[in-house]
Chains A and B, each alone.
Chain A
Amino acid sequence: MRDHLERFLAPHGTEYEDLRREVDDSFGEPRLVVAAGSVLQGFGNSASDVDLHAVVDDGRVTDFHVSFHDRGFSVDVNYVEETWIKDAAARPLVPPRTRPEWKDEQRRLTQLGRFALGLPLAGRDDWLAWRLDAASAFAAHAAWWWRAEALRFRVAAELLVPAKPLLAAQRYCDAGLAALDAVAAAAGEAYVGTKWLGLKLTRLGRCDLLADHTRFLSLPRSPAEAPDYVAWARGALDALTAGWAGPAEPVVHVTPAPGTQVWKVRSSYLVQRLGLAGLELTPNAPGAPGAPGGPTAAAAVDGVMTWSGPVSALPEETRELLLAGLLWLAVTAAEPGETTPGETAPGQTAPGQAAPGGVEGTA
């Protein structure tokens, strides 16, 4: 890594030792400073910058960036609070079930990867030892994440195929790239950054997978081209994931997308997002919320907006809301004690309570 870095720095007249001075002590003496980024992985190009990451004991910083441009290339310094990063490394791997959990898990992977795969420039002995531990665990962590993402995107793609085949193809592409990233991570190429995936596969000598990479990116241009692409992508994903211990049937978890709310006027419910678009749910329609003998209409609307269960049991209203972009999709493997359709999952609203976003307005 140091060789890659020095080759990048040399044309700019910058020495390896100069980089440490870009990390300021305003947040206290850093516990650990690492250089990271594509340059150190040997993937750098003329658009690359150098990333420095510093662990500090200052509760004001969580993920604080400062950039410098005075060396002829960008240096991005990222300060991370020590308790946060230690907790991030110690937490078990739990599949995210909501958007905030997904964002937190993605951020954790990215931050840990920077330290785990970076080049230490300075650090206390205990933090240098911590980094070695983080490095030893990281490839498995990355492979776990990408496998989960491959499953999530594939489930999304399958849901989209009938109504939106072109969009389904995009999600198969995402599932394929995630599956390839999982294979690369498991083989030791765990650096996070899907744009570098093709180079990682090349370095692994996997010409077969590089061909898959190209094929996944060769997306259909029209709905007429989508079926062939979908058929190929399904087969390629089956082959890529054949050795994985996946669930017999994925479990989906849906929650309102950011900005999704319910407006109610008399017996009509509009599930809308940011006032830009929505779907109206009416209790009088066959099988709609509020049908005789079922839960109250408001509880039924909440129930289709926040739902967990096997993908095959996904309520039709929930599917429609998902396809309309009003809900966030998470997918996990079935586990002992997994909630079944209609049950309330942890963090889920109980019948009769307002869903996140809430039912607004009454007649």
Chain B
Amino acid sequence: MRIRAVPEPRRWAAFRCYGIYGQIMEVQAFVEDLEGALDAGQLPVTKFAGLSVVRYCLSVRALLAGGFPPDVGDATADLFAGLSDAETGAALTVIRRLAEAEDMAAARAAADGVFAYVRDFERDLGFAEKPPSVRRAEGLFPALRLAREIIPVNQAAALPLALPAEWLPQAGAGKAGAGQAGAGQAGAGGA
């Protein structure tokens, strides 16, 4: 058994709660956008998808250091807050390599760097294998169960819920609202 000191348990909890929910609802979508764009030969879309996924992972990693939960549209949110120069530089190099790809062959090579970056992110969240996809029929309910696993720690750490309140076991019966889990899949509610 390994032992590691954790000086800020709230940040430990925030990284895992927002990270796991974000992996299910955001990171997977960006990765699938990237894969779809590579398949279709949509060079500018691959560049934007790569930027989006790496930036999202950075913002979650920053939760372990000096950041706050990701908030779409926050113009001063610091996705690098507290991260080391090496960690920031590695992520930005992945983005840059894809952005500078001049054709699809170069984009595919650069995209491998993005996929590797995401796999490291998933491993740090505790996923030994690729997590189930909420956007696939076979992965929908495993992904939802996974998201609900974070609820006890999320609540114990007194952090705002990473997942929509409607996903709580006692909520939502007979009520329909923004971002609520429907008969098949949850809407993309913001964290």
Contacts and interface: CB of A to CB of B under 8 A. Distances in A.
Contact of B184 (A68, A160, A275): A68
Contacts of B72: 106
Contact of B44 (A106, A202, A323): A202
B interface residue count range (under 10 / 10 to 19 / 20 to 34 / 35 or more): 35 or more
Nearest to A222: B89
Given A63-B179, A167-B80, A328 B92 contact: no
B32 interface: yes
B164 to A, nearest CB: 11
A219 B96 contact: yes
A76 B187 CA distance: 9
Contacts of A174: 75
A103 B92 CA distance: 28
B25 interface: no
A62 B33 CA distance: 27
Contact of A153 (B33, B75, B136): B75
A362 interface: no
Given A106-B73, A195-B52, A196-B45, A273 B78 contact: no
Contacts of B92: 166, 219-222
B36 A45 contact: yes
Q: Which of A174, A197, A217, A257 has the most CB of B within 10 A?
A: A217
Interface residues of A, number: 72
A216 to B, nearest CB: 9
Interface in B34-49: 35-37, 39-40, 42-45, 47-49
Contact of A199 (B44, B52, B137, B182): B44
A126 interface: no
Contact of A221 (B40, B96, B176): B96
A232 interface: no
Nearest to A213: B44
B48 A325 contact: no
A93 to B, nearest CB: 17
Contact of A45 (B39, B52, B69, B78): B39
A210 interface: yes
Nearest to B32: A47
A266 interface: no
A45 B44 CA distance: 13
A135 B48 CA distance: 27
Interface string B143-181: 000000000000000111000000000000001111110
> Which interface residue of A61, A64, A67, A197 has the most chain B CB atoms within 10 A?
A67
B43 A164 contact: no
B21 interface: no
B48 A217 contact: yes
Interface string A159-199: 11000101100110110000000000000000000111111
A46 B39 contact: yes
B184 A210 contact: no
A70 B69 contact: no
B76 A64 contact: no
A62 B177 contact: yes
A276 B69 CA distance: 10
Interface of A: 27, 43-49, 60-70, 74, 76-79, 99, 102-103, 106, 152-153, 155-156, 159-160, 164, 166-167, 170-171, 173-174, 194-199, 201-202, 210, 213-214, 217-222, 257-259, 273-277, 322-323, 325, 327-329
Interface of B: 10-11, 14, 32-33, 35-37, 39-40, 42-45, 47-49, 51-52, 55, 63, 66-69, 71-81, 85, 88-89, 92-93, 95-96, 99-100, 135-137, 140, 158-160, 175-180, 182-188, 190
